[in-house]
Each structure stands twice: as structure tokens, then as C-alpha cells.
Amino acid sequence: MKKIAEDDIYKYIALSYMTSLEEELNGEEAAGCDTTGLDRKTFDRIHNKVNKPKTIRLWAAAAVAAAAMLITIVALPVALRMLDASKINSGTSNESVAEENYELIPISFEIPENLRVADWKVDNGVSVYYLENEYEDDIVLQMKPLDNPSDEIDSDIGGLQLIEINGQDAYAGSFEGYNVLSFHDGELSYKLTCRYDVNTLVSLGKNIL
């Protein structure tokens, strides 16, 4: 696979460089350096870093606990009253409400070796898969039935660019903190998101289309 071969080359280069650096440094002496000042600075900075975060953490934990208690005391009775009111107004019971059941859309394409399904759920008709990536750019894959093949691809996010994957139209975009790829195959609509590199999504898209 292209990505594995590329990373293998980079690993080889990086490891070779570090080996050369190790050999260059090994045996180097710096006996004349006085480290009194360094020791004092390092101790002072580490000592301050050790104490401050702990103090901050304790105060933060106390604040969170107090806020949680306050919310529980104030909001819970209100929520319970609203729930009772809605039951009375609807005139229905939990047992008589018909819940729509959405089935999980199975994955029918080959998942690349660097990915594995870590979790999944159905959210209001959309099948969501959480794909753990060996290269740390995890993917969230959303699939839903395509109501009308002539509908435009889900491009509700502005700034997407039209690209082609295996001859099919797709929309891709890179934004602050995430990347998106959107397309359909005539039956299902797909939306893929990841954090670091849109090419991670395109690679998976090639397996789907």
C-alpha cells in the first residue's frame, strides 16, 4: 500500500539519522561545564511545576463538584416536573409510544489494514462507525440511505471542493481541526471526517467507491 511504503521510507531515514547522531554524540565530553546554575534553575522550575498544577487541580475539582451539586439541587426537580407534565399532555404512556427502529447499515466494502472498527451506533437513521487508525488519524464514517440519487451530495459545510474518486464525484475539504469527505454511491450517502489529513479519507473513499 502506498501509505505504508512512504512511512517505511521516512522511518528508515529518521532512524538512520538518529543512529548517526547517537554515534556523533557518544563519547563526547563536556567536563569543563559548570552545571550549578543549571541545577538551580531546573530544580526551581520543576518544583514550581509540580506544586502549581496540583493546587490548581484541587481548586478546579472543588469548583466542578460544587457546580454539579448546585445543578442537581436546582435542575432536577424542574426536570422531573416537566417530564410529568409532558406525560399528562401527550396522553400516552411509554409502552404505547411507537419507536422507530433504525437498523445499522453494514459495511460492505473492504476496510484497509490500518483501520479497525472500534465502535458503532445508529443516530436518528444515520449509521455511524468509529474507525481506529493505526496511523492515529481516526475516522468517523457516517452512512445513511440516499433518498433521491439526484439529490446533491451532502455539502452542508461550505468550502468543500469537488474531486473525483474512482470516477465518482466527491466533495472534500480541510478545515481548522478536521477534514471532511462526502459522496454517494447511488444507494447510500457517506460522510467521512478525520482530524489530520484529508488524504486519509480519500484512501478510504477509494475502497468504498
Partner 1 sequence: MLLILTFSSEEQKQNFEYIYNKYKRLMLYKANGILHDYSLAEDAVSEAFIRLYKNIDKIEDRESKSTLAFVMVIVRNVCFTMLKKEKAYSYSELDDESPEEYTFENKVLGQISAQEIIKSVDLLGEELKAVFLLKFSRGLSHREIGELLGISENNVTVRLHRAKKKLAGILIEGGYVYEENS
List residues binding partner 1 (CB under 8 A). 2, 5-7, 9-23, 25-26, 28-31, 33, 35-43, 45-47, 49-50, 136, 176-177, 195-197
End-to-end CA distance of the chain: 17
Minimum CB–partner distance for residue 145 and partner 1 (Å): 34
Closer residue to partner 1 in complex, CB, 9/68: 9
β-bridge partners, 131: 117, 139
Task: Dihedral sign for Cα 77, 82, 85, 86, please.
Answer: negative
Minimum CB separation from partner 1 for residue 198, in Å? Answer: 11
Report, in Å, the least distance between residue 40 CB and partner 1.
Answer: 8
User: Long-range pairs for 105-108 at CB < 8 Å and ≥24 separation?
Assistant: 105/143, 105/144, 105/145, 105/188
- In the complex with partner 1, the residue whose CB is nearer, 37 or 106, is 37
Nearer to partner 1, 14 or 104 (CB): 14
DSSP state of 108: -
Cβ neighbourhood burial of 184 (10 Å; 0-12, 13-18, 19+): buried
Cβ of residue 174: shortest distance to partner 1, in angstroms? 10
* Min dist. Cβ of residue 26 to partner 1 (A): 6
d(CA 105, CA 86): 33
Task: Using the minimum distance from each CB to partner 1, give the nearer residue, 38 or 68.
Answer: 38
**CA distances in angstroms from 136 to 1, 120, 131, 146, 200, listed in the order given:** 17, 18, 10, 30, 10
Residue 209 · residue 168 · CB < 8 Å: yes
Identify which of residues 6 and 169 has a Cβ nearer to partner 1 in the complex: 6
Q: Rank residues 19 and 86 by Cβ distance to partner 1 and give the closer one.
A: 19
- Least distance to partner 1 from the beta carbon of 148, Å? 36
